[in-house]
Amino acid sequence: MPRDLSQVSVAVRVGALNARYKHHAATSVLEHALRDKDLGKVALVSSFGAESVVLLHLVSILAPQTPVLFVDTRMLFAETLAYQRQLAESLDLCDLRIIRAQKPDVSFHDPDNTLHQVNTDACCALRKVAPLERALAEFDGWITGRKRFQASSRQAVEFFEAEAETRIKVNPLAHWTRDDLAEYMINNRLPRHPLVAQGYPSIGCAPCTSKVAAGEDPRSGRWRGQEKTECGIHFINGRATRSPAKDPE
């Protein structure tokens, strides 16, 4: 009989999961923890960005039944949409769900598609945060590609995090390094996002993403010239993470 997760707090379940899988590898977290009674029903949320193929490939092999949620803001690069279709086919993603903002909401809040020019936080909330929240309502947790090396604010990221008392965030690649990712892509002959070779090491919506010069922080091309560092979907203990460093998603 499935466990009634409503009777156990998210924080308690996160503590138990981190203790249980503390010394496990990413593959073990995906293969075993995703079936753990303390986790419940989960989905993988993927941007199909610069590093996304690693986690998508792992999930397609170890937990192919996992739903994959892709938020199409309708402002993505054409290359991202083509890459998403390519990976969905090559990895045989059997439960891919395309998530978009509701048309009435967009028509009301951003009728001429210029909201990003005056309020990027509001644009992200409309086109990404709200649609994803609706899509995640049926899940007890979601899988992300967050890693410790990405920024100072993520150096203590664990395999499992509490997202307030709502759901659990799963970070199977938390301990991986940039070299680990590159080696995995090479060994498994995985295709890179085409924009990476063109100077885009971090890829979001087209209007808010620019090329990164040699020596710049990989995240500096996101919301260039603004203090904004996150689109709003990532929280730690229910609070948005913000820091001077640009944090990859």
> Are 42 and 35 spatial neighbours (Cβ–Cβ below 8 Å)?
no
What's the whole-model pTM score?
Answer: 0.85
In a domain, 17, yes or no: yes
How many domains, in total, are found in the chain? 1
Residue 144: exposure state from Cβ atoms within 10 A (0-12, 13-18, ≥19): buried
In a domain, 110, yes or no: yes
DSSP state at residue 149 = G
In a domain, 249, yes or no: no
Residue 194: exposure state from Cβ atoms within 10 A (0-12, 13-18, ≥19): middle
Question: How far is the C-alpha of 47 from the C-alpha of 102, rounded, in Å?
Answer: 19
In a domain, 245, yes or no: no
Residue 90: exposure state from Cβ atoms within 10 A (0-12, 13-18, ≥19): middle
Sign of the CA dihedral running 185, 196, 249, 76 = negative
Tokens of 200: 């885009």
pLDDT digits (tens, 9 = 90+) for 123-136: 999 999 999 999 99
From first to last of the 249 residues of the chain, give the pLDDT tens digit: 456 676 789 999 999 999 999 889 999 998 888 889 889 999 999 999 999 999 999 999 999 999 999 999 999 999 999 999 999 999 999 999 999 999 999 999 999 999 999 998 899 999 999 999 999 999 999 999 887 655 555 556 788 999 878 899 999 998 888 899 999 999 999 999 999 999 998 899 999 999 998 888 777 878 777 766 555 555 443 344 433 333 434
Structural domain boundaries, residue 135: 5-240
Pick from 158, 160, 159, 202: nearest CA to 178 = 202
Q: Which positions are annotated as active-site residues?
A: 231
> Are 230 and 30 spatial neighbours (Cβ–Cβ below 8 Å)?
no
In a domain, 178, yes or no: yes
SS3 content of the chain, % helix, strand, coil (to 5): 40, 10, 50
Give the three-state DSSP class for 120: helix
In a domain, 246, yes or no: no
> 126 to each of 12, 20, 160, 207, 238, how far by Cα in Å?
32, 37, 27, 15, 19
CATH number at residue 51: 3.40.50.620
In a domain, 247, yes or no: no
In a domain, 248, yes or no: no
